Structure formats: C-alpha cells, structure tokens
Amino acid sequence: MTRQTHYDLIIIGAGIVGAATLQQYQMKYPNKKVLLIEKERKHSIHQTGRNSGVIHAGVYYPPNSLKAEYCREGLHDTIAWCQQYKLPFEQCGKLIVATNDIEMARLDILFNNCQANELHPQRISKSKLKVLEPNIEGQEAILVNATGITDYAAITDSLLNVARQSPLVDVIYQREVVEITEYPDKVSVAIISNDVTNIKHNSPEQLRCEQLVCCAGVYSDELIQKQGLVADFKIIPFKGIYYKLADKFNGISERLIYPVPDPEMPFLGVHLTKMIGGYTTVGPNAVLALGREAYGELPSISEIGRTVSYSGLYKLLWKYRRSVFQEVMTTFSQKKYAALVQKYCPAVKASDFSFYRPGIRAQAMLKDGTFVHDFKFVQTERVLHVGNAPSPAATSAMPIARAILKMLIA
C-alpha cells in the first residue's frame, strides 16, 4: 500500500507524550489526516517504557509551574483513562521519609509545597510511621495519599489503539526523521528506514504536513537543530539504574517510600517502589549516560562527543561534585546502592538485588550548567517541539497534549 504524503499533522515520537497528542488531536479533529512517526520497532521503547510507573501527585514542583499544574491534572486524567480502558493502576499513596536533621528541615519545605499544591499532605510521626509501615524507619514522614502506580507502556498502547480506530490516523514504526524544513505554507519532513531487513527504503522519503509536533524525548534538542533552529539548552542524558528485589520483599511496604530529595537535585533519590505486577524495585540512581540510548553497550564516539562537548555539563559536574561522586559510586557498588535504601528500609541488602531494566532521563540543561526544571516548548509558525519533558511527564502526558493542541493553528 502506498502511503499518503500530505497530512494535516505529523507527530514525531511514540512515547506517551506523542501518543496522547495523537489521540487528543484525532478526537478534536476527526476529519483531519494525521501521521505518527517512530524510529523504533514499537512504542514505549525509551523513557515511557523504562520509568518507575509512578502516577505523581505534584509534591516537588513550585505551585506556579507547568509541572505542578499538569501533574495535578494528569493524575486525574491518568486514573480516569485507566478506569475507562480497564488498565491497571493503584492509588497506593506515597511516604517521604526523613532520616536525619537536614532532611527534617527539607521535609518542612516539602510539606508547605504539598499544601500549596493542594495535595492534603499529612505529617506522620516516627511512631505512626512504624504502625503504617512496619518495615520502614525514619524520624518523621509526609504522607500523600493521591500518588499511585500504573503501567505507562500499557496506557500508551491504548492511546494509540483508540486513535488508530480512525482510518485517517496512521502510525509508522522504524522510520527516523532526519530533516525538517518549514515553509510559509507547509512543513516538509524527510524520513529514512531503520528497518535493517528492508533495504528498499534507505533513501529519504519526503512527507508534507500543515503542522508538525515533535515529541522526541532524549532527542528533542537534535530535532530543533534539524529544523535549523538554535536551542538555548541541550538534553543531557542521565541514566537511572534500578534493581528488582527478591520475591520475599513483595509487599514490604503498602505505599511508595521516598527519601527527602536535595531541592537542587529533585530527581535524585533512590525509592522503594511497588510495581504493577506485584514485585518491588529500588531506584533509580542518576549518572551521566555517555549516549542517549546507551542502556548497556558503549555508544559511538560521535554520540559520546555530543554528550560531553557541552560546557554547561562541566559546570554542573563541578557544582554538584559530591552528589555526582555518590551517584557514580552506587553504579559500581551494589553495597553502596543498598546503603541508600537501608537508611529507611534496613531489611534490604545488596544480595536481594537482581537486574532490572535501566532508564535514561531526557533532562534539558542551560549553558550555565543549570537544569531547566519546568516543561519547555519551542515553537515556530508551523512546528512545535516538546523541548523538555522529564518526570512527571508520563503522569502529565494528557495535559501536555491539551496544551500542545491549544498552541497549534486551529
């Protein structure tokens, strides 16, 4: 079957943000033609299929941020979607546990932030903590009941299936977007085949659309460059290693157990996560990944060069050298990793760990070495790039998609 070459909208990336955008666009404009292009052989191969599966409530985000707003809305949207399409979820709640005096001071700030975000947090004393979670130890904790767990790859699958019921929706895999050209009246997108078994398609194919939305995760800055724009940030890939705990730990806690994060590095903090499926994981830590999709093997020299050639990176590594050192140590030593968990769950030992798939976070960084903490979009007349969509973007995918639709030309 020959493919059409002109669409009303093309979306790049079959992670949860691209899938939610496709589904909502199809629902809003049922008579428009839309194509989603993904370079892998299926959806959710990257961040969407390699995360903690937590439906965040919005504990950490400043009240006036996009993250706070979209996370709060996204929690409800995610649960509603799971209920409607009978997908697994559980609103099990989350405890953030302080284990020393520095963390106690930070816990106060977090509690105020939870209140400002209308999460109805509860202070949990040391003795109450023992009653709620007999295997967890700490000086005090915050309980947020709204937090939950789900399977984001399953949600992505159902978003795509719902959208694909329309004959005007097309999803193609193993096609990589290599060039974007914007004209006054259209956008041209060049794709190549990533299917090694199909060498017929190795010269670029040109597609056209009225508008383009790029939801490329860890490659968001590269697609901005492919359009000839200059991004004021770069995506720095941070790998998160997880471990699955031995079966005897299934049910070790009823809730998700988090340490108190450093406010400057809010994504650091190895947590104890009950997963859909009944098992428990610990993780993720955060270390610089040499390649954006380098989960195990070493990336190419050019990929390493792209990662390490950003001046902002060195400023960050120097500023946070203590945290960086600690995270690197946990990568090489399972004992050091286990020690992070033992602070609040003494029963866990390194010998209880087994391999679990790692994830790589797409985190935007400015030239001065500071992180872009909030979600960020880059827009021209006909092209919209989701520039920075780290956690909680899986939780927030549906509100992000609504925001994208508002930014498009009607």
Ligand X SMILES: Cc1cc2nc3c(=O)[nH]c(=O)nc-3n(C[C@H](O)[C@H](O)[C@H](O)COP(=O)(O)OP(=O)(O)OC[C@H]3O[C@@H](n4cnc5c(N)ncnc54)[C@H](O)[C@@H]3O)c2cc1C
Among the listed residues 23, 24, 26, 51, the single contact to ligand X using CB under 6 A = 51
Which amino acid, one-letter code, is at 128?
Answer: K
CB of residue 104 to ligand X, shortest distance in Å: 25
Closest to ligand X by CB, 92 vs 104, is 92
Instruction: Give the residue, chosen from 244, 361, 373, 385, that forms a contact with ligand X under the rule CB under 6 A.
Output: 361
Choice between 40 and 140, CB closer to ligand X? 40
Considering only residues 366-395, where is the footprint of ligand X by CB under 6 A? Answer: 386, 389-395
**Of the candidate residues 360, 378, 403, 408, the single one contacting ligand X (CB under 6 A):** 360
Q: In angstroms, give the least distance from the CB of 327 to ligand X.
A: 13
Taking the least distance from each CB to ligand X, the nearer of 140 and 289 is 289
Residue number, 25 or 140, with CB nearest to ligand X: 25
**Nearest approach, Cβ of residue 239 and ligand X (Å):** 8
CB of 97 to ligand X, least distance (A): 18
Residue 363 sits in the site that holds ligand X (CB under 6 A): no
Nearest CB to ligand X, comparing residues 57 and 140: 57
Among 102-110, 130-138, 256-264, 354-362, which window interacts with ligand X (CB under 6 A)?
Answer: 354-362
Distance of alpha carbon 394 from alpha carbon 115, whole angstroms: 23
Render 54-102 in DSSP notation, one character per residue.
EE---SSS-TTSHHHHHHHHHHHHHHHHHHHTT--EE---EEEEE-SHH
Which whole-number Å values give the CA distances from 394 to 29, 56, 74, 399, in the listed order? 24, 9, 8, 10
Q: What 8-state DSSP symbol labels residue 40?
A: S
Write the binding mask 250 to 279 for ligand X: x where contact by CB under 6 A, - elsewhere.
Answer: ------------------------------
Residue 32 C-beta: closest distance to ligand X, Å = 21
Residue ranges of the alpha helices (H) in 164-236?
Answer: 220-226
Measured CA to CA, the distance from residue 10 to residue 22 in angstroms comes to 9
Nearer to ligand X, 344 or 375 (CB): 375
Check whether the bond before 284 is cis (ω within 30° of 0): yes
Token couple for 117: 């975000």
Can you tell me which residue has the tokens 């001046």? 311
Q: State both tokens at 91.
A: 């609103």
Nearest approach, Cβ of residue 362 and ligand X (Å): 6
Place of tokens 């997880």: 242
# residues contacting ligand X (CB under 6 A):
42
Q: What is the footprint of ligand X within residues 219-238 (CB under 6 A)?
A: 219, 223
Please give the backbone phi and psi of residue 325, each rounded to the nearest 5 degrees, phi first: -60, -45
Asked if residue 99 lies in contact with residue 259, where contact means CB atoms within 8 angstroms, the answer is yes
Closest approach, Cβ 31 to ligand X, in A, equals 26
Tell me which of 10, 22, 24, 56 binds ligand X, using CB under 6 A: 56
Residue nearest to ligand X (CB): 15
Pick from 227, 158, 179: which is nearest to 20 by CA? 158
Minimum distance from residue 254 beta carbon to ligand X (Å): 18
Residue 194 tokens, joined:
């990533």
Rounded to the nearest 5 percent, the helix, strand and coil shares of the chain are 35, 25, 40
Residues 10-49 that bind ligand X (CB under 6 A): 12-18, 37-40, 45-48
Q: Rule CB under 6 A: choose which of 35, 36, 50, 147 binds ligand X.
A: 50
Phi-psi region of 351 (alpha: psi -120 to 50; beta: other; left: phi over 0): alpha
Q: Taking the mean position of all CA atoms in its chain, how far away is CA 13?
A: 13
Write out the residues near ligand X by the rule CB under 6 A. Answer: 12-18, 37-40, 45-48, 50-54, 56, 176-177, 215-219, 223, 240, 284, 359-361, 386, 389-395
